């Protein structure tokens, strides 16, 4: 692993790894193949137990400072822990990482009470009666007409007295059906474009919050993705995060930090592809020797390793820039974040495909774990900003620089 971590950091990474290998891995084939994972189904209940275990270990509070009851970890440790989770199942890792996506705007721009409120929800100390499991939150930005074009939000938040009233529908929300609390982006002044969007904390239990049907996804099936509908939802004015009109910028700053964490998930998928392919290539014989002794396979494995390690390095490169910028009170790391997310997303799809190629017909069979890696990998080029959006960000930064 390219990260240079001390013993305390490694203890956290190993905590995630042990849980993923011992508890999650045995259930992955059954849950990945289940037609649905709603809380009412037997498989859905098993998944919720896995989520509960992650909360009990603190995996949903890794980056929350200790003063608020979290584990107070840096993002090098978080990324390495996510890689371990994703090596076992990228859907499960997505659930944990998406919760952390909802948390980030609060950690970056929320006040003390808001941070405490969120930490209590993610510790499982505070819960929502409607949520099927404590400890998760969700980031509600995407709408049917506001995906890549995130500033085209139609959800509104109207200030009335000492409340805001939220109306609108968010879609493709990871953890939509399991979260106890949401970070919601809504238009407070439609005359101001991106400067008229604000961020809010909305508890799941608020009247008027409801969940749409769960998406039936190609991969990352151990994560829950739903619509979240807000109908005349009243929240106290103190649930506004930071300043009115700054929501879009907060969302972008959040994504700048979260996208490299998706890079870590992608690296986990790629590393699993290498591990499975090497294991197979050492025992599978053709022309009188294990296929790993054939240059065609050995060089393919070497290329897979090069790509994966460069992906990991792009996360480390991002984090070096991130910590340097934050030390100086700046947020200028969009380019490094987009490069990392884009490279790792594209890379993991190719590495997963290469793993199938090495396993041949067995790789294509659902009996072996590598076909799932391709299904899981594809989303890495799509969510948290498509790789086309990452290229918009990168080209915009190049233009600005020159
Ligand atoms: N950090 C801080 N501010 C940022 C920023 C960032 N990373 N990105 C944009 N801004 C600011 C800009 O500086 C601009 O402010 P000024 O007018 O004061 O200069 C404002 O936000 C609008 O920026 P821009 O004009 O670039 O916004 P666009 O509407 O053109 O959107 C993209 C740009 C496409 C990059 C953005 O909409 C995006 O990231 N879309 C994908 C959203 C996404 O990832 N969705 C996934 C769902 S969440 S899982």
- Which residue ranges make up each domain of the chain? 7-122, 137-247, 249-401
What percent of the chain has pLDDT above 70? Answer: 100
Q: Whose CA is nearest to atom 35 of ligand 1?
A: 393
pTM above 0.95, yes or no: yes
Name every residue whose Cβ is closer than 8 Å to that of residue 18 and which is 6 or more positions away in sequence.
none
As a whole number of angstroms, the distance between CA 141 and CA 146 comes to 8
Whether 1 shows a pLDDT value over 70: the answer reads no
371 is catalytic: no
Q: Give distance in angstroms: CA of 402 to centre of ligand 1.
A: 20
Helix and strand totals (H; E) in the chain: 12, 10
DSSP state of 63: T
Ligand 1-lining residues (CB < 6 angstroms): 139, 141-142, 148, 150-151, 194, 248-249, 252-253, 255-256, 331, 334, 383-385, 389, 392-393
* Given 30, 67, 384, 388, the catalytic residue: 384
Query: Residues 168-196: what's their mean pLDDT?
Result: 97
Topology (CATH level 3) of domain 137-247: Butyryl-CoA Dehydrogenase, subunit A; domain 2 (2.40.110)
What's the mean pLDDT when you consider all of the chain? Answer: 97
Q: 20: alpha, beta or left, given left = phi > 0 and alpha = psi -120 to 50?
A: alpha
CATH number attached to the domain at 249-401: 1.20.140.10
Could you count the other beta carbons within 10 Å of the beta carbon of residue 254? 26
pLDDT score of 2: 85
CATH number attached to the domain at 7-122: 1.10.540.10
Q: Give distance in angstroms: CA of 141 to centre of ligand 1.
A: 12
Whether 18 shows a pLDDT value over 80: the answer reads yes
What percent of the chain has pLDDT above 90? Answer: 98
Q: Whose CA is nearest to atom 43 of ligand 1?
A: 385
DSSP state of 67: G
Q: Give distance in angstroms: CA of 331 to centre of ligand 1.
A: 13
Q: Whose CA is nearest to atom 15 of ligand 1?
A: 249
Q: Give distance in angstroms: CA of 389 to centre of ligand 1.
A: 10
Whether 64 shows a pLDDT value over 90: the answer reads yes
Q: Give distance in angstroms: CA of 304 to centre of ligand 1.
A: 33
Q: How confident is the model over 123-134, as pLDDT tens digits? A: 999 999 999 999
pLDDT score of 12: 98
Among 150, 192, 246, 379, residue to substitute to test ligand 1 (most atoms within 8 Å of Cβ): 150
Q: How confident is the model over 241-261, as pLDDT tens digits? A: 999 999 999 999 999 999 999
Q: How confident is the model over 300-338, as pLDDT tens digits? A: 999 999 999 999 999 999 999 999 999 999 999 999 999
pLDDT score of 173: 98
DSSP state of 153: -
pLDDT score of 25: 98
Q: Give distance in angstroms: CA of 50 to centre of ligand 1.
A: 35
pLDDT score of 401: 81
Q: How confident is the model over 186-237, as pLDDT tens digits? A: 999 999 999 999 999 999 999 999 999 999 999 999 999 999 999 999 999 9
Among 143, 173, 252, 338, residue to substitute to test ligand 1 (most atoms within 8 Å of Cβ): 252
Q: Whose CA is nearest to atom 2 of ligand 1?
A: 249
The answer to whether the CB of 93 falls within 8 A of the CB of 85 is yes
pLDDT score of 402: 82
């Amino acid at each position: 692993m390219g990260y240079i971590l001390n013993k305390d950091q490694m203890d956290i990474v190993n905590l995630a790894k042990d849980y993923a290998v011992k508890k999650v891995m045995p259930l992955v084939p059954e849950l990945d193949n289940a037609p649905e994972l709603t809380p009412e189904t037997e498989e859905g209940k098993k998944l919720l137990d896995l989520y509960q275990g992650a909360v009990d270990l603190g995996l949903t509070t890794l980056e929350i400072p200790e003063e608020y009851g979290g584990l107070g970890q840096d993002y090098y440790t978080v990324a390495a822990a996510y890689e371990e989770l994703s090596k076992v199942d990228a859907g499960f890792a997505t659930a944990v990482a998406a919760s952390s996506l909802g948390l980030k705007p609060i950690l970056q721009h929320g006040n003390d009470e808001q941070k405490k409120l969120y930490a209590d929800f993610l510790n499982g100390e505070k819960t929502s009666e409607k949520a099927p499991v404590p400890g998760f939150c969700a980031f509600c930005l995407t709408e049917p007409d506001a995906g890549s074009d995130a500033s085209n939000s139609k959800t509104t938040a109207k200030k009335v007295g000492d409340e805001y009233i939220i109306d609108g529908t968010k879609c493709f929300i990871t953890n939509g059906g399991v979260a106890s609390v949401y970070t919601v982006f809504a238009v407070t002044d439609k005359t101001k474009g991106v400067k008229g969007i604000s961020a809010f904390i909305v508890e799941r239990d608020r009247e008027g919050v409801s969940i749409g049907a769960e998406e039936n996804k190609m991969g990352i099936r151990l994560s829950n993705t739903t619509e979240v509908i807000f109908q005349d939802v009243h929240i106290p004015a103190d649930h506004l995060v930071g300043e009115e009109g700054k929501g879009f910028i907060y969302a972008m700053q959040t994504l700048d930090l979260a996208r490299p964490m998706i890079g870590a998930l992608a690296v986990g998928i790629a590393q699993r592809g290498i591990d499975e392919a090497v294991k197979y290539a050492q025992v599978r014989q053709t022309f009188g020797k294990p296929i790993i002794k054939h240059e065609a396979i050995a060089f393919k494995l070497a290329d897979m390793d090069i790509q994966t390690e460069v992906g990991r390095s792009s996360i480390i490169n991002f984090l070096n820039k991130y910590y340097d910028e934050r030390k100086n009170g700046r947020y200028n790391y969009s380019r490094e974040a987009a490069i990392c997310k884009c490279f790792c997303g594209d890379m993991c799809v190719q590495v997963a495909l290469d793993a199938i190629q090495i396993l041949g017909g067995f790789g294509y069979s659902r009996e072996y774990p590598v076909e799932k890696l391709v299904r899981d990998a594809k989303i890495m080029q799509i969510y948290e900003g498509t790789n086309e959006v990452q290229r918009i960000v990168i080209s915009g930064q190049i233009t600005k620089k020159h």
